[in-house]
């Protein structure tokens, strides 16, 4: 005869195991359902963006109807109004302008110059003034060239070897770096700090080798920053082809003098705006997700890759969410920042207003590395937040993105780190970016509609996932 207590215990253990099994199955089903839901939402956004995009046409308008958009210029203000209208057409709940003063530098008349060897050979240069540089004056400037490839070499030459001469920083972008932004960061210091370091020893002007990955005829501009402790001297960039020519002459012990003339000038700070469009969150409207790029561009090209692409991608996310009827739980804010190129005042104002209004910025994503094929995201956030995003990696497998790693985000959202915001930057394939960056070749025709849209798809997916699940 079976003991009743034993039978009761057996029944209890059986029911307990069955209950646990049901819980496990239920949890597994819920997880699978969430996976399916996420995949469906991202697929829906992808189909909308890849098939019905407005981003490419918006970019065409910025580049061809407006053109270069250097901060403080009339074109930059036209771009402010144009992107505000684009956000309204995209269906943003609220569109507004955030006013402040921006750096206002003008290039003036087209620069000219030539190099001349000791034997009398004259070589006309493809050159441009560095952003924020002073002018040579109407008579231009001519001096013997001394070439250096490091600040240590400059220091060794000192005043004795530098005074009265024109310093030429010949530091190529390192081709051994597969990550081209690493090479740019390394060589960019000569553009930013080179003029003042040379002026310290009495140089009359500075030439830099363009920060370009190819040997070509296009000079690349970009901002320089003067140290007020030393005289301000004119500064130019020359094409990499001309850089090679001068280097060859000097290596052959052929003295070189350079003449150039620029008419650029710095004006008083000018009024401008960040352009902002929002979709209010349905569940956590006070939690803000920022996605953006910078609206200003250098004046040699059309600012297509740098950074018209990032701006129209951010606007397109707003449009795609509205077109698909997808309602984000958290507020999504698309921002067109102004003055990234030569002052960063838009980023500073955005942070200032966030702190003033005590806004809760939970996540920010920037696209400022071109509209090329996306490869991944760099994540600047706490480890547990980064791990959460990495757990979503499988959802990006079908959209060409695979690289999720710690790294910098972007100069316009970077200041938000001060208030604890988790930051990310879109990382497209960078191999062609520095063929175009800050040069006359940065035009609309250099942007592929498919690459641009695919970047937008991945940005939209990440923004939606953070909106849905938080960090």
Peptide bond into 307 cis (omega under 30): yes
Which parts of 171-239 fold into alpha helices (H)? 180-199
Q: Residue 289: name the closest of 410, 92, 466 by CA.
A: 466
Q: What is the CA radius of gyration of the chain?
A: 27
Distance CA 147, CA 126 (A): 18
Alpha-carbon 411 to chain mean position: 7
- Give CA separation, 81 vs 253, 313, 336, 413, 414, in Å: 55, 17, 11, 22, 25
Interhelix angle for 4-52 vs 309-324, to 10°? 120
48-426-469 Cα angle (round to 5) = 70
Residue 269's nearest CA partner among 333, 171, 349 is 349
According to DSSP, the residues that pair with 122 across neighbouring strands are 116
Query: How far apart (Å, rounded) are the C-alpha atoms in residues 365 and 428?
Result: 14
Among 193, 238, 205, 235, which Cα is nearest to 220's? Answer: 238
Compute the distance between CA of residue 428 and CA of residue 450 in angstroms, rounded to an integer: 13
CA distance 102 to 266: 12
- Beginning with the edge strand found earlier in the chain, give each strand of the sheet holding 284-294 in spatial order: 94-106, 265-279, 330-337, 284-294, 360-366, 422-428, 374-380, 403-406
Residue with tokens 């060589």: 187
- Kindly list the distances between the CA atom of residue 130 and the CA atoms of 22, 206, 258, 345, in Å, as whole numbers in the listed order: 68, 10, 16, 19
Q: Does the CA dihedral 389-394-395-398 come out positive or negative?
A: positive
Residue 153, both tokens: 């070499």
Whether residue 340 lies in the annotated active site? yes
Angle between helices 151-162 and 180-199 (to 10 degrees): 20
Of 316, 340, 366, 451, which residue is the catalytic one? 340
Tell me the C-alpha distance between 187 and 369, whole Å. Answer: 17
Active site residues: 340
């Amino acid at each position: 005869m079976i003991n009743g207590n034993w039978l009761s215990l057996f029944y209890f253990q059986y029911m307990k195991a069955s209950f646990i099994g049901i819980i496990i199955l239920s949890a597994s089903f819920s997880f699978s359902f969430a996976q399916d839901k996420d995949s469906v939402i991202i697929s829906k956004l992808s189909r909308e963006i890849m098939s019905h995009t407005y981003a490419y046409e918006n970019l065409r308008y910025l580049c061809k109807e407006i053109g270069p958009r250097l901060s403080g210029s009339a074109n930059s203000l036209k771009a402010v109004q144009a992107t505000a209208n684009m956000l309204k057409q995209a269906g943003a709940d609220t569109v507004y302008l955030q006013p402040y003063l921006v750096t206002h530098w003008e290039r003036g008349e087209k620069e000219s110059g030539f190099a001349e060897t000791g034997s009398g050979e004259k070589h006309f240069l493809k050159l441009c003034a560095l952003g924020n540089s002073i002018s040579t004056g109407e008579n231009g400037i001519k001096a013997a060239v001394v070439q250096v490839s490091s600040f240590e070499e400059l220091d060794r030459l000192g005043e004795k070897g530098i005074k009265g001469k024109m310093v030429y920083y010949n530091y190529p972008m390192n081709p051994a770096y597969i990550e081209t932004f690493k090479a740019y960061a390394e060589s960019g210091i000569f553009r930013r700090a080179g003029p003042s370091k040379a002026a310290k020893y009495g140089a009359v002007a500075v030439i830099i080798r363009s920060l370009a990955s190819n040997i070509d005829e296009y000079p690349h501009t970009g901002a320089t920053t003067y140290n007020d402790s030393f005289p301000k001297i004119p500064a130019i960039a020359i094409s990499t082809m001309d850089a090679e020519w001068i280097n060859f002459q000097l290596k052959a012990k052929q003295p070189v003098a350079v003449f150039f003339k620029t008419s650029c000038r710095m004006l008083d700070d000018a009024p401008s705006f960040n352009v902002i469009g929002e979709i209010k969150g349905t569940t956590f409207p006070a939690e803000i997700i920022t996605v953006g790029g910078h609206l200003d561009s250098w004046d040699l090209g059309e600012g297509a890759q740098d950074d018209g692409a990032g701006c129209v991608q951010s606007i397109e996310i707003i449009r795609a969410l509205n077109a698909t009827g997808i309602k984000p739980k958290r507020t999504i804010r698309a921002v067109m920042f102004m003055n990234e190129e030569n002052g960063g005042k838009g980023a500073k104002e955005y942070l200032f207003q966030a702190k003033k209004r005590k806004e809760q910025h939970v996540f920010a994503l920037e696209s400022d590395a071109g509209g090329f094929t996306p490869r991944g995201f760099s994540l600047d956030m706490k480890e547990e937040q980064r791990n959460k995003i990495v757990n979503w990696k499988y959802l990006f497998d079908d959209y060409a993105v695979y690289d999720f790693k710690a790294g910098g985000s972007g100069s316009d959202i970077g200041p938000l780190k001060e208030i604890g915001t988790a930051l990310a930057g879109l990382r497209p394939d960078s191999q062609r970016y520095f063929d175009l960056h800050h040069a006359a070749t940065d035009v609309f025709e250099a942007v592929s509609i498919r690459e641009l849209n695919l970047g937008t798809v991945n940005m939209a997916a990440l923004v939606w996932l953070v909106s849905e699940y938080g960090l």
